[in-house]
Structure 1
Amino acid sequence: MHTNKIKLFCPATIANISCGFDVLGVALDAVGDEMVIRKAKEKGIKITKLEGQDLPLETHLNVAGVAGMALLEHVDYEDGFEIEIYKKIKAGSGIGSSAASSAGAVWGINQLLGRPFSNVDLVKFAMEGERLASGVAHADNVAPALLGGFTLVRSYDPLDIISIPSPSKLYATVIHPQIEVKTSDSRKILKTNITLADGIKQWGNVGGLIAGLFQEDYELIGRSLVDHIVEPIRSILIPGYDTIKSESLEAGALGCGISGSGPSIFAFSKGETVAKRVAHTMKEIYQKIGVDYDVHVSRINTLGIKPLDQ
């Protein structure tokens, strides 16, 4: 690896994963941003190029800049870094656009500094980028981006992140209707209190989902992908949601839910054939409604962020 420069793939991520609001996430393989990070003589961080999305270049207004600066506050380093960002994940898509930039910046800087921090350490720096993007320093996108596979945020204070194995035949289908739902807006409509009955159902599903992933029990995974708390409220913001969900399950999906804060909808399937059939079903529904969309079919990315050949 060239010690002064690194090129990265920063994966898209699905967060919440139905029952795991703010605590569960998973990294995808088929879609992600690319970044180039290089050492520079000028102190601090400079975003020198940003292609693919209309986002600010100013360090303090860009999630990659903010996350990178959070890391630099904890190292003895006199010089700085330049960052180029090639956005392939649309902002506001619900598949971790801000997380890819935040996580990519800290991962790449850490590599160029000789890896003073573990990937788990990097999560707290990347969360500062998420704080800028959504007003909340959540870890359920940046953790899987950095660690790969599924991750569980067991606790935020102190931060305690656990890697969960992903079954080898698990595939994700994600459809992104071309409407924007801002994370900050979709958080505002959530209730802050839940009933004990809903809590009990939700905890059962979180435990079931984790057990299903460990045991490679696809049916248990499917039965556990149920959200009694957030989905009933947020789904109102997404056109055709109920139809997409019911028809995806009919097409063979294990389960279906809102990716992050939406508007993307994800489904998990056992095997690529079923995942592609689910994608076809989802496309047909949006074609009928008349909403433009992007579709991704992806295996689970077990590595997280990875260097690309220079």
Structure 2
Amino acid sequence: MKNSIKVFAPATVANVVCGFDVLGFAVNEPGDEVEMRFTDTPGVVIKKITGDDGRLPLDSAKNTVSASVQHYLKHINRLDVGVEIELHKKMPIGSGLGSSSASTVAGLVAINKLMGDLLTAKELVPFAMKGEELACGYGHADNVAPALLGGFVLVRSYEPLDVISLPTPAGMYAAIVYPEVDVPTKDARQMIRSKVALKDAVTQWGNVAGLVSGLFMNDFDLIGRSMQDVLVEPTRSILIPGFEEMRKLATENGAIGFGISGSGPSVFALTRNEETARIITKSQQQHLHKININSKAFVSPVNAEGPRVI
């Protein structure tokens, strides 16, 4: 059995426009890294966090990584185990790219590997959801499931949890732009309507079904037609400066579809190839620069492998 390990877990795009809390996919970059080692003293300790500008708690009960690791150790009845954790944030916090889930997943994969792979990736999802609950008050799985499993994931049901891996069409790329403005997940969730019109619900159901069908059929046009959100995006997009102009630039430059990543402020476009993705991110960053907003861009194929040991 190894005594120490280092694990990378990827960023994720949740919701995928029409699939609020039920759809997500992983990307190759950015992501977070966790270093973990056994110690002689029982308990879980966060020794060090880098890249967070001091924003994340070192208190093991309040940090999503250590808290989910503690849940895991309790589940396997090994509270006698002692581990020390170093978390290296390699992605922006509050970006809408599943920052908390990448950290949590890296930690869970690390402890599971150190303990001899006692649980499958799918069995780790509920423990990662505990971390999400700590981070934003609600234990959703549309970030943690793709971060753990890779690729596109559908959360068919939460009670009981039913997570399904979906195929990714060959050649698909994600063009992600993160405008450096603050949109806290909790605030963004509070803006969402608690009741929706039946007409809007029917539209949304059709789009989710169309998007899933498009992934199975390798039908980029069907995927694009289905990437419309009549429930959440109209409200959340108000919080993102330049959103409509970025949508226009994505569409004009050949995007399959465009929308908000998670709760924002990051936006993403799906494309048929890498070149189109790079043209889209460049044009969107130029627009944000004109309106005095700094941004970061990430171009990546859909990540099929999920976390990896470094």
Partner of 1:4: 3
Would you say the 8 A contact 1:42–1:80 is kept in 2?
yes
Partner of 1:272: 274
CA deviation after TM superposition for structure 1 residue 263, in Å: 0.5
Partner of 1:70: 71
Partner of 2:192: 190
- 1:103-157 CA distances to partner (integer Å, 9 max, x unpaired)? 1111110111111111111000011110011000000000000000010000000
Would you say the 8 A contact 2:38–2:82 is kept in 1?
yes
Of 148, 151, 168, 1:149 maps to 151
Letter in 1 for 2:166: I
Of 172, 175, 178, 2:177 maps to 175
Partner of 2:49: 50
CA deviation after TM superposition for structure 1 residue 265, in Å: 0.5
Partner of 1:101: 103
Would you say the 8 A contact 2:7–2:107 is kept in 1?
no
CA deviation after TM superposition for structure 1 residue 190, in Å: 0.8
- 1:1-310 to structure 2, matched below 5 A, reads 3-53=2-52, 54=54, 55-77=56-78, 78-308=80-310
In the alignment, the residues of structure 1 paired with residue 29 and residue 109 of structure 2 have an alpha-carbon distance, to the nearest angstrom, of 20
In the alignment, the residues of structure 1 paired with residue 164 and residue 82 of structure 2 have an alpha-carbon distance, to the nearest angstrom, of 32
Would you say the 8 A contact 1:30–1:299 is kept in 2?
no
In the alignment, the residues of structure 2 paired with residue 94 and residue 259 of structure 1 have an alpha-carbon distance, to the nearest angstrom, of 5
Structure 2 gaps of 5+ residues are: none
In the alignment, the residues of structure 1 paired with residue 232 and residue 115 of structure 2 have an alpha-carbon distance, to the nearest angstrom, of 40
CA deviation after TM superposition for structure 1 residue 30, in Å: 2.3
Q: Name the SS for the 2:96 alignment partner.
A: coil
- TM-score, length-normalised on structure 2? 0.97
In the alignment, the residues of structure 1 paired with residue 63 and residue 267 of structure 2 have an alpha-carbon distance, to the nearest angstrom, of 26
Count of residue correspondences: 307
Would you say the 8 A contact 1:134–1:184 is kept in 2?
yes
Letter in 1 for 2:190: K
In the alignment, the residues of structure 2 paired with residue 65 and residue 161 of structure 1 have an alpha-carbon distance, to the nearest angstrom, of 24
Structure 1 gaps of 5+ residues are: none
Moved over 3 A (4+): none
In the alignment, the residues of structure 1 paired with residue 154 and residue 225 of structure 2 have an alpha-carbon distance, to the nearest angstrom, of 19
- 1:92-113 CA distances to partner (integer Å, 9 max, x unpaired)? 0000000001111111101111
